[in-house]
A and B are shown apart, each in its own frame.
Chain A
Amino acid sequence: MDSDARMDIETFASLADLRGLTIENEDMRRRLHDGYCLLQLLLDQIPENIDAATDPALIFLANETKINR
């Protein structure tokens, strides 16, 4: 997949503004935009339709040990 196809840099700048980010200059905006596009590749891997019963708290039952996370 071409990550750069996700969002152009002008739209990205507006999104960054909405998220309250102060971006120092054009060079940093371009590099952050690169990172944003690559981030989408990670986010795309989150499985869809995880069972609603899957609570995020992770509990081990090793040696009757419980963990709060």
Chain B
Amino acid sequence: MTLLHNISMAEAVRMLLVGSIKPTELVETCLAQIEAHDSKLNAYITVCADEAREAAVKADQDIEQGLPRGLLHGIPVALKDIYDTAGILTTCHSKLFKTRVPDNDCDAWERMAADGAILLGKTGTHEFATGGPSFDLPWPPPRNPWNTEHIPAGSSSGSGAAVAAGMAYLAMGSDTGGSIRGPAGVNGLSGLKPSYGRLSRRGIFPLSWTQDHAGPLARTTEDCALAMQVLSGYDPKDPASVNTPVPDYMNIIKQPIKGMRIGWCKNWYEGEVDSSVENSLSDAAATLKDLGAEIVSLELPPLAEFHACGRIIILSESFAIHRQWLAKEPEVYGEFFRLRTRLGAFISADQYVDALRWRRLLATSMIKEMSEIDALLTANQNGPAETFKDSQQDYHFFGKPSLTMPANISGQPALTIRGGFAESGLPVGIQLIGQPFADADLLRLGHQFEQARPDLNAWPIL
């Protein structure tokens, strides 16, 4: 029997629609998981148990009276603790904001709340979405539910851990260089970094204005599509938000992928990643081919260039955001954050602007190279989740180049889905990158792949 905490959000929505379950049962399921396991997983910074129970009772009544509010009515969700929530502690996992309570909701929560979602709480992150995993912050770092000696990646670490552990049916993350796709990959989830401009970032504490993206982490790609249906829409208060029609994601993902052309980009990872990653990608290409897609080889500009360009921009912009606080009281931050972010002080104005111009060249080149294909298949990560011991490096980003950075450079949508498992039993994600604003087609690919690979559907035993 499938346990209620192991079902997907879409399954929960279908059960709510036919009345075979109530929001109060979903909320109690998640709260029971939190109560039983979060003392060792540290996924949450704040749990809104009383408020969630109260909202669930109201949702029960509304649904019984035939007054459903939206697709997510009665669904318990979580938000990364850089998403502002009115009246609820929002810390960015930092001592600097240890007592910060915003007055307003972020755009994402405004939309989800209006749709009837129920907020379970706020999840842990790397400090300000960059300084972690750290042990010198007011809250411990989240741990990977598949093996707590391993990291859940970051920076949306608590969101990844919470969904994988059945402590929420959906959690929102943010992605500036891969912070949704990293946790999705190592926690065995589906995670979408939408097209730049597709979702509003208003009310999400910035790391890098020109590369930040909001997006969902969920158990399945269908769940991500559900979330996108609710979250998408123009927000004039986010200058990057694009006023473009919202597609019918839930209908589009049901369409077959026969005839789609998929470029398989091996030059970013071949010979550089764990065999479990290479094997997962070969298996994925075979599955997509079986589904009727055409697989073609595609070589893109060197990964190291995307990585260097993106990292220079992130360091410049994040230092600008934190410069005043870093000057006044550096020790209010954790060591990793202090070390990494202060490097931005040594990037000159001309170097920053040239990095922005370089980004345009790289993005143009990537989009041009992809002009004859519908999507790109490539690696998401170098291997399964590393251990906490191995993760304690001052400058993780000076190691191997990030496989997720290119889509932050180009702004294209990028989806991580489960591709397989390493010998250790830890999950391994694979990455699909789509055409600008073809987020729905990308979700279609992911959903059809997942439908064809039920053998990959397993969850951590806690």
A residues with CB within 8 A of B? 15-16, 19-24, 28, 31-32, 34-36, 38-39, 41-43, 45-47, 50, 54-58, 60, 62-63, 65-69
Contact = CB atoms under 8 A, between A and B. Distances in A.
Contacts of B326: 21-22
B359 A22 contact: no
A35 B331 contact: no
A54 B357 contact: yes
B345 A16 contact: yes
A41 B244 contact: no
A21 B398 CA distance: 22
A55 B330 contact: no
9 contacts: A31-B394, A35-B340, A35-B394, A45-B309, A54-B360, A58-B360, A58-B411, A63-B244, A65-B242
A58 B359 contact: yes
B229 interface: no
A62 B198 CA distance: 13
B260 interface: no
Contacts of B239: 68
A12 to B, nearest CB: 9
Interface residues of B, number: 48
Interface in B445-461: none
Contact of A50 (B338, B347, B358, B398): B358
Interface string B194-237: 00110000000000001000000000000000000000000000
Contacts of B4: none
Given A22-B330, A23-B330, 5 more contacts: A43-B351, A46-B354, A60-B437, A62-B437, A67-B196
Interface in B376-411: 394-395, 398, 411
Contacts of A46: 308-309, 312, 351, 354-355, 358
Contacts of A24: 330-331, 338
Q: Which 9 A-B pairs have the closest CB atoms?
A: A56-B356, A62-B436, A19-B345, A42-B308, A45-B308, A38-B398, A60-B436, A54-B357, A67-B197
Interface in B310-357: 311-312, 315, 323, 326-327, 330-331, 335, 338-340, 342-343, 345-347, 351, 353-357
A18 B354 CA distance: 23
B394 A34 contact: yes
Contacts of B339: 28, 31-32, 35
Contacts, number: 112
A58 B363 contact: yes
Contact of B359 (A38, A43, A56): A56
Contacts of A63: 244, 436-437
B361 interface: yes
Interface string B358-381: 111101000100000000000000
A46 B354 CA distance: 7
B294 interface: no
A67 B345 contact: no
B304 interface: yes
B359 A19 contact: no
Given A34-B394, A67-B240, A56 B343 contact: no
B327 A20 contact: yes
A43 to B, nearest CB: 6
Nearest to A67: B197
Interface string B405-431: 000000100000000000000000000
Contacts of A56: 353, 356-357, 359-360
B31 to A, nearest CB: 40
B196 A69 contact: yes
Contacts of A43: 312, 347, 351
A38 B335 CA distance: 18
B149 to A, nearest CB: 25
Nearest to B353: A56
Contacts of B346: 15, 19, 36, 39
Contacts of B174: none
B191 to A, nearest CB: 22
B354 A38 contact: no
A66 B242 contact: yes
Nearest to A50: B357
A21 B308 contact: no
Contacts of A28: 335, 338-339
